[in-house]
A and B are shown apart, each in its own frame.
Chain A
Amino acid sequence: MKSSTFIKRIPLLILGILLKSLTAGAQQMTPSNFSFGSREALTWVLFGFLLALFFAALVLKQKVNDIRDGYKKKAEDEQTNELKEHSRKLNSKQISKLLDYKERNRRNKTGISVLILLLTTAISILPTSSLVAQSTGKPNASSLLSETGVLITIVLLLIPILAAIILLIVKVVNALNQTKNRQNLEMAEKLANYLRSLPEEEVNTELKRRKAALDYRLNHQELAGTQPAEDEKGLLQINSQPGLPIVALKKKALQRPGIDPELSRLILWYLGCATFWLLFGTTIGEYLGIKFVAPDADHVSWLSFGRLRPVHTNAVFWGWASLGMLGLGYYVVPRVSNTKLANINYGWYALWLINAAVILGTICLMAGINNGGGEYREYIWPVALLFAIGVVLTLVNFLQTIARRTTKEIYISNWYIIASIIFAIVITVVAYVPYWQNGLGETIIQGYYMHQGVGMWFMLFTLGIVYYFLPQQLNKPIYSYSLGILAFWTQILFYTLIGTHHFVFSSIPWWLQTVAIVGSVGMVIPVIAGTTNFIMTFKGAWYKIKDSYTLPFFLVGIIFYFTGSMQGTAEAFRSTNLIWHFTDFTVAHSHLTMYGIICFFLWAGIYAIIPRITGREAPQITIGAHFWLALIGLMFYTIPLMYGSTMKGLLWMEGKPFIDGVVLMAPYWLWRAIGGSLMWLSHLFFAYNMYKMMAGRYMVDVRETAIQNLDDSTNTVQPIA
Chain B
Amino acid sequence: MELFDNHKKLFGTAAIFFIGLTILVAIMPAIRNQDNNQPLPGAVELSPDAVKGKALFIANGCVACHTQQVRNVDMDKMWGTRPSLAADYADNHRTDFWRNTATLMGTERTGPDLTDIGNRQPSKDWNLVHLYNPRIVVKESIMPAYPWLFIIKEEPSKSDIVVNVPSQYLDGKEGKVVATKDAMYLIAYLQSLKQTKLPDGTAAPAFLYKREEKKVAGATGSEPDGKAIFTANCQSCHQANGEGLPGAFPPLKGSPVVLGEDLEKYVDIIMNGYDARAEFGVMPPVGTNMQFTEHEVAALINYERSSWGNNGKKVTPDEVKKIINFVKLKAAK
Contacts and interface: CB of A to CB of B under 8 A. Distances in A.
Interface in B106-161: 106-110, 112, 133-135, 138, 140-148
Given A440-B33, A448-B25, A497-B21, A655 B78 contact: yes
Given A295-B141, A507-B89, A662-B140, A441 B78 contact: no
Contacts of B209: 578
A269 B61 CA distance: 33
A621 interface: no
A173 B22 CA distance: 64
Contacts of A582: 67, 107-109
B217 interface: no
Interface residues of B, number: 85
B25 A437 contact: no
B241 interface: no
Contacts of A375: 107
Nearest to A293: B142
Interface stretch (B7-15, B257-265, B278-286): B7-15
Interface string B13-39: 011011101100111011101100100
B26 A448 contact: yes
Contact of B101 (A296, A438, A508, A581): A438
Interface stretch (A86-94, A216-224, A226-234, A301-309): A301-309
Give the residue among B4, B33, B147, B232 with the most A Cβ atoms within 10 A.
B33
B49 interface: no
Contacts of A507: 69, 83-86, 88-89
B47 interface: no
Nearest to B10: A410
Nearest to B225: A656
A659 interface: yes
B321 interface: no
B186 to A, nearest CB: 12
A304 B33 contact: no
B62 interface: yes
Give the residue among B26, B60, B105 with the most A Cβ atoms within 10 A.
B26
A488 B18 CA distance: 12
Interface string A548-587: 0000000000000000000000000000001001111011
Contact of A505 (B72, B100, B145, B235): B72
A561 B74 CA distance: 34
A437 B142 contact: no
B130 to A, nearest CB: 13
A436 B30 contact: yes
A308 to B, nearest CB: 8
A440 B109 contact: no
Contacts of A418: 7, 11
A436 B86 contact: no
Interface string A186-205: 00000000000000000000
B7 A306 contact: no
A422 B92 CA distance: 31
B107 A434 contact: no
Interface string A631-663: 000000000000000000000111111111011
B138 A659 contact: yes
Give the residue among A419, A438, A508, A584 with the most B Cβ atoms within 10 A.
A438
A305 B64 contact: yes
Contacts of A488: 14
A419 B11 contact: yes
A368 B60 contact: yes
Interface in B87-109: 88-95, 98-109
A622 interface: no
A483 B74 CA distance: 43
Interface in A450-495: 452, 456, 485, 488-489, 492-493
Contact of B59 (A368, A505, A586): A368
B10 A296 contact: no
Contacts of B104: 373
B230 to A, nearest CB: 9
B72 to A, nearest CB: 6
A510 to B, nearest CB: 9
A448 B26 CA distance: 6
A683 interface: no
A440 B89 contact: yes
B316 interface: no
A662 B141 contact: yes
Interface stretch (A130-138, A401-409, A697-705): A401-409
A671 interface: no
Contacts of B320: none
Given A305-B61, A410-B4, A660-B231, A496 B21 contact: yes
Nearest to A405: B7
A295 B135 contact: yes
B14 A492 contact: yes
B228 interface: yes
A399 interface: yes
A307 B145 contact: no
A666 B139 CA distance: 13
A141 interface: no
Nearest to B142: A295
A115 interface: no
Nearest to A307: B61
A169 B98 CA distance: 79
Given A374-B100, A657-B232, A578 B75 contact: yes
Interface string A615-626: 000000000000
A506 B71 contact: yes
Interface in A363-397: 365, 368-375, 377-378, 380-382
A442 B92 contact: yes
Given A439-B90, A506-B84, A370 B15 contact: no
A488 B14 CA distance: 9
Given A292-B142, A299-B148, A408-B5, A309 B61 contact: yes
B5 A409 contact: yes
Contacts of B148: 299-301
Contacts of B78: 655, 658
| Shortest 9 CB-CB contacts between residues of A and residues of B | A306-B61, A368-B59, A582-B109, A505-B71, A657-B232, A441-B30, A441-B34, A448-B26, A372-B102
6 contacts: A370-B59, A372-B58, A399-B11, A502-B107, A506-B84, A584-B108
Given A304-B144, A444-B29, 16 more contacts: A306-B63, A369-B99, A378-B61, A410-B10, A422-B11, A423-B15, A435-B31, A440-B30, A441-B34, A442-B30, A442-B101, A497-B25, A499-B25, A584-B110, A586-B108, A659-B141
Interface of A: 291-292, 295-296, 299-301, 304-307, 309-310, 365, 368-375, 377-378, 380-382, 399, 402-403, 408-410, 415, 418-419, 422-423, 426, 430, 432, 434-445, 448, 452, 456, 485, 488-489, 492-493, 496-497, 499-500, 502-503, 505-509, 512, 515-516, 578, 581-584, 586-587, 652-660, 662-663, 666, 669
